[in-house]
Amino acid sequence: MGIESILIILLIGSIAGWLAGQIVSGFGYGLLGNIVIGIVGAFIAGAILPRIGLGFGGGILAAIVHATIGAVILLFLIKLVKRA
């Protein structure tokens, strides 16, 4: 994996984490937290979305949408755990 791939992963993760923070109100973890949430969200979406038949194709925009959906799921789960 080259430096370009790592930079793209970080960029997609930060955008997805920021978007998820905007969608799920009350959550903001700063730049580093948003990157981590976006990357973990991409892994979550990669495990869940193909099993239910959702695919977005390829490209950076599809990767951002994919990671954002996973990050929203992750933030929703965090919100549920914090309430309990």
Which pLDDT score is estimated for 6? 82
pLDDT at residue 66 is higher than 70: yes
Give the other-Cβ count within 10 Å of 56's Cβ. Answer: 14
Rounded CA-CA distance 35/41 in Å is: 10
The pLDDT tens digits for 4-17 are 888 888 888 888 88
pLDDT at residue 18 is higher than 70: yes
Which pLDDT score is estimated for 30? 75
Rounded CA-CA distance 66/82 in Å is: 25
The pLDDT tens digits for 24-65 are 876 567 778 877 888 888 888 888 888 888 777 788 888 888
